[in-house]
Amino acid sequence: MDERHTVDLLIIGAGPAGLYGAYYAGFRGLSVALMDSLPQAGGQVAAMYPEKLIYDVAGFPAIKGQDLIDNCVAQAAPFDPRYLLGHRAEELVHAGESITVTTHKGVAVTCRAVVITGGMGTFTPRPLPDADEFEGRGLRYFVPKLDELAGLDVLIVGGGDSAFDWAQNLEPIANSVTLIHRRDTFRAHEHTVSQVLASSVDVRPFTEVARIHGAEHVKSVEVFHNKTDARETLDVQAVVAALGFTADLGPLTRWGLAQHKRHIVVDTTMATNLPRVFAAGDIAEYAGKVRLISVGFGEAATAVNNAATVIDPNAKLFPGHSSAL
Ligand SMILES: Cc1cc2nc3c(=O)[nH]c(=O)nc-3n(C[C@H](O)[C@H](O)[C@H](O)COP(=O)(O)OP(=O)(O)OC[C@H]3O[C@@H](n4cnc5c(N)ncnc54)[C@H](O)[C@@H]3O)c2cc1C
């Protein structure tokens, strides 16, 4: 892929901090691209707990994770940020007053400043073994929109919070929900486990996937009991694999950024040790750091406003009040 983009500001990581940074860049009149290795925006929130209520974001007594992300996307939308989803930032090269970041797919973004909002790094769902060919054809690792599975027979694989949350939330709208787990102990919140066990969800411990069947799309899944080897074929049209994630700072560690315990060290302007490179949100580190969405929002605003003064040395640091527009 030989694709090139030129923008004022590149934000690496489309979690809540990055999305809010995109809004702020637009508000400052900067063109902005937002890159994320995941196929969707929303970082940890959209990937791990889109259906959970969040109680500690200022101005929202309670808001569902995915609704918060949808609102962040809507807030940035008037400024038309360029989304590069499914792209992992791989290489960063300075050339005078510009920086070029290249993705693992070979797409190059040239910009005048970078804000890294990479959270824990790229997090990749643990794959369901031997099931690659069905990904996107009935097998999925995320359920950002529950409605997509309405009326289907769904098999959920996993025993953690995500598996039980999907089970609980899909039960009222799916035709049937079966949850299998290779053990008989679950890592999910006890209260959710009890609710799922008391619901119509068919929970099967000591059970694993043997094989997915289907041509164009998942049609059924053969499962086996790992104590007795008893086998059964379940007619399902959707498989949700919730086997956890692996997080990896990966490429970011090779750019010469000062780090402390897998985080990027920043000063009070959110600047890193590299010229024109800032960091905000969970990935940023300084004394007294608190890793929360609300803190990441504030840091993103600080990072982008300071980046604006690096991009244009005549620009003011204070952006003015949005309410004055
Ligand atoms: C189960 C759970 C519940 C939580 N509940 C709350 C809560 O109630 N309140 C609260 O305030 N916080 C909560 N948190 C924490 C909150 O989700 C994080 O603080 C927040 O998501 C951090 O936002 P971020 O934008 O900094 O990073 P993230 O949300 O981690 O997003 C970072 C993004 O960067 C991408 N990325 C990383 N490296 C690269 C690369 N090289 N190239 C391209 N993309 C890259 C990743 O794919 C990811 O999408 C919770 C977390 C979990 C796991």
What is the tens place of the pLDDT at every residue in 264-279?
A: 999 999 999 999 999 9
Counting ligand 1 atoms within 8 A of each CB, the residue from 11, 44, 88, 254 with the most, and so the one to mutate, is: 44
Q: How far is Cα 103 from Cα 251, in angstroms, rounded to an integer? A: 10
Q: How far is Cα 68 from Cα 45, in angstroms, rounded to an integer? A: 9
295 — pLDDT class (breaks 50, 70, 90):
very high
The finding on whether 16 has its CB within 6 A of some atom of ligand 1 is: yes
Residue 7 has pLDDT above 90, yes or no: yes
* 89-98, 136-145, 223-232: least confident range: 136-145
Q: How far is the CA of 118 from the centre of ligand 1 (A)?
A: 8
Mean pLDDT of 224-233: 97
The finding on whether 144 has its CB within 6 A of some atom of ligand 1 is: no
Q: What pLDDT was estimated at residue 1?
A: 58
* 100-109, 189-198, 245-254, 299-308: least confident range: 245-254
Of 183, 208, 202, 203, the C-alpha closest to 130 is 208
Q: How far is the CA of 93 from the centre of ligand 1 (A)?
A: 25
Task: Measure CA of the first residue to CA of the last residue in the chain; give whole Å.
Answer: 40
Task: With H, G, I as helix, E, B as strand and everything else as coil, classify residue 140.
Answer: strand
Residue 48 has pLDDT above 80, yes or no: yes
**Secondary structure tally for the chain: helices H, strands E:** 6, 24
Q: What pLDDT was estimated at residue 125?
A: 87
Burial class (CB within 10 angstroms; exposed 0-12, middle 13-18, buried 19+) of 312: middle
Q: What pLDDT was estimated at residue 236?
A: 98
Residue 72 has pLDDT above 90, yes or no: yes
Q: How far is Cα 216 from Cα 163, in angstroms, rounded to an integer? A: 25
Residue 161 has pLDDT above 70, yes or no: yes
Q: How far is the CA of 132 from the centre of ligand 1 (A)?
A: 25
Buried/exposed code over 131-147 (b: 16+ C-beta within 10 A; e: otherwise):
beebeeebbbbbbbebe
In percent, how much of the chain has pLDDT > 90?
Answer: 90
Mean pLDDT of 30-36: 98
Q: What pLDDT was estimated at residue 142?
A: 84
Backbone angles phi, psi at 144, to 5 degrees: -65, -30
Residue 38 has pLDDT above 80, yes or no: yes
Residue of minimum CA distance from atom 5 in ligand 1? 54
Q: What pLDDT was estimated at residue 264?
A: 97
Which residue in the block uniquely carries the two structure tokens 């290795």? 37
The finding on whether 118 has its CB within 6 A of some atom of ligand 1 is: yes
Buried/exposed code over 23-60 (b: 16+ C-beta within 10 A; e: otherwise):
bbbbbbebbbbbbbbbebbbbbbbbbbbbbebeebeee
Q: What pLDDT was estimated at residue 212?
A: 97
* 8-12, 70-74, 241-245, 279-283: least confident range: 241-245
Mean pLDDT of 48-63: 93
The finding on whether 88 has its CB within 6 A of some atom of ligand 1 is: yes
In percent, how much of the chain has pLDDT > 70?
Answer: 99
Q: What pLDDT was estimated at residue 124?
A: 83
Measure Cα distances from 166 to 14, 47, 172 in Å: 23, 12, 11
Do residues 27 and 316 lie in contact, with contact meaning Cβ atoms separated by under 8 Å? no
Measure Cα distances from 181 to 111, 157, 226 in Å: 46, 6, 10
Q: What pLDDT was estimated at residue 52?
A: 85
The finding on whether 271 has its CB within 6 A of some atom of ligand 1 is: no
Helix axes 16-27, 293-311, angle to 10 degrees: 40
